Chain A
Amino acid sequence: MELILTNTGSYPRIGDTAELQQLRRAHGQRERGEISAESLAKVQDAVTAEVVREQIAAGVELPTDGQVRWGDGLSYFAANLNGVSMNGLLRFFDTNTYFRQPVVTGRLSRKGPLFARDYRQAVKAAGRPVKAVVPGPYTMARGSILESGYRSVHALTVAYGAVLAQEVSELAGQGAPVIQVDEPAILRHPSDLAILAEALVVLARGKGAARLSLATYFGDAAPIYDDLQDLTVDVLHVDLTYSPALGRVIADRGSTKALSLGLLDARNTKMETRETVFPLLDLIGRRLRTPAHLAPSAGLEYLPRDRARAKLEAMRRLRDAYVGERR
């Protein structure tokens, strides 16, 4: 069985030592007007390089840029759009973290390319292709306040899809092998799957040779697992920490897509062991299309930096032991 080790998106941008807090200090200095936007961007680049290298050192084969520049899952992209203003803070799903809520006030268009630049920085640090991550059009629409410009969440999802398609196209042009589209909201609103499906078709038009990966997390994908198989994506990421039933569902149904198995709990410090991971891999393994991905359940930013790294190191140890023993 071939399991590629990947990260599911974010990585803690600071740690507990002074040298790991340069980004926190730089943001503080920027807020007080002590440094320029360009100086802050340089620190962001340096920290991006740092977290990319840290993922690779921990054994990750397909790292991400760590989403070091993202203020949160929605507003980083939304702030780069015409037709959007920003509202107050709202809780981000069931996390004890918050996002700034976009307010859609008119037709959406980009102020310019966003993710391709971040991707280039990450590749420079990694010395190899990395996985790109973009927010999903449905989660963007669900998390936005719709004031004007569109008639419904459906129309807004498709509109977000259209502007995200430009980002996807540029990322594909940069050589991104996998472009992950984050859609946690669909697990909360499964009746809207048809809306997501329509937007993903738009998104997929620009993907070129890249593989599109749909990331679902913060919920139980088991009830809609069959429907997710019908979407126009190449890889499906599922969060196996929420659902006791999902492993059995995958074992029963198999998958028409490559799966990204979110087996390591990105929300808790408790370390996975062979006793918790191997039985699930045994259950699912015979139905996997390989190569599959092994990954944290969600972005790792919910953990302290040292624990995030330890999780990735554990992931490599477990993968190596499992593949070695089952060979």
Chain B
Amino acid sequence: MSRAKLKSLGFDLPLLPTTSVGSLTKPDDLLAARARHARNEITQAELERLEEQATEFWIRQQEEIGLDVLVDGEMYRGDMVAYFAGLMGGFTLGGLVRSYGNRYYHKPIIGGEVKWPGPMTVGWWKKAQAMTRRPVKGMLTGPYTVMDWSFNDYYPDRRAAARALAREIRKEVEALVEAGCKIIQIDEPALSVRAEELQVAIEAMHVVTEGLPAYFLTHVCYGAFEFIYPAMLALPVDNWDLEMSNSGLDLVELFKAHPFTKDLSFGIVDVHTHVLEDIDVVKERVARALSVMPADQVWLDPDCGLKTRTVPETIDKLRLVVEAAQAARFALGAKT
């Protein structure tokens, strides 16, 4: 079903398309430059030059590895919510809160009416797409997650905040579509943690995607899917990108009980470990995916963003994805 949509949008992707979730490792020189920029030691232009350089590095790497749908690697972002909160009207940066261990971050506060400031990711998408003939995904964080990962001092409740964010994030999606982006990923990692609010997330995503001519993916990870599956399939996207390997593929059992009716980007490589899986382990994960899903609904990628891995680890893990996809295509008699 969604392959037909992709075709209608002009994409002729191979069986089991390969991609990555979004973030890739920032090279050391970029990390150092970001720290210097934070201390006002280098200009925004100097930082952007290194961000562009790093983006081009990853575009070339993804091409060389053989991925089908590329990402810009998010070289210009720190946190996936704070980046947008820092640009959008209505937000202030809150004080430090702990994430885990000794890690802290500035959690944004919605203190006024949220407002789209004009394109936030379109320029980066255009730059990345201009570097390659392969499709590059547009990458955004969804309204439910931006709401959930922010404090809300302004809107009367969580639903109102999510809806307001959805209206503004839709403007970014429209700008991406206008620029020519036809594969757009709207990440909602917070979606699976409050089962009782699934409808809030679905409503908000309707506002974001309804009627727009693009193939939409969403990435969700770390969730309690047993509480929201299969109701979550009502989220208006074409493709769910799910962390599978880190949880021992336990979601496969849910898909046996109730078929997965959308396309699925199946995480076949664990991103939370330095260890590089054996190719046979990864091939077995592909086989498990294909045991519960028709092959033409399956995409293959790592579990999650790769920004916490080293550059060599990231390259090796992406190679595994492509190698396993090629082996599976060969076994299915499809074009590799």
Contact = CB atoms under 8 A, between A and B. Distances in A.
B100 A301 contact: no
B96 A71 contact: no
A305 B107 CA distance: 12
Q: How large is the interface on B (under 10, 10 to 19, 20 to 34, 35 or more residues)?
A: 20 to 34
Judged by DSSP, the binding face of B is mixed
B68 interface: no
Contacts, number: 73
Given A24-B102, A28-B102, A89-B100, A304 B95 contact: yes
B40 interface: no
Interface stretch (A10-18, A158-166, A289-297): A10-18
B101 interface: yes
Interface in A96-131: 96-100
A15 B95 contact: yes
Contact of A99 (B100, B148, B196): B100
A100 B100 CA distance: 9
Contacts of A98: 99-100
Interface residues of A, number: 34
B153 interface: yes
Given A93-B193, A96-B149, A12 B272 contact: no
Nearest to A20: B96
Q: Which of A88, A301, A307 has the most CB of B within 10 A?
A: A307
B153 A270 contact: yes
A15 B97 CA distance: 8
A130 B109 CA distance: 32
A97 B98 contact: yes
A91 interface: yes
B96 A16 contact: yes
Interface string A21-35: 000100110010000
Q: Which of B95, B96, B109 has the most CB of A within 10 A?
A: B95
Contacts of B109: 269
Interface in A249-274: 268-270
A74 to B, nearest CB: 12
B57 interface: no
A325 interface: no
Q: Which of B97, B101, B148 has the most CB of A within 10 A?
A: B97
B255 interface: no
Q: Which of A14, A91, A93, A301 has the most CB of B within 10 A?
A: A91
Interface in A164-178: none
A304 B107 contact: yes
Interface of B: 94-102, 104, 107, 109, 148-149, 151-153, 190, 193-194, 196, 222-224, 227, 246, 272-273
7 contacts: A15-B96, A71-B101, A89-B272, A94-B194, A96-B149, A96-B190, A304-B94
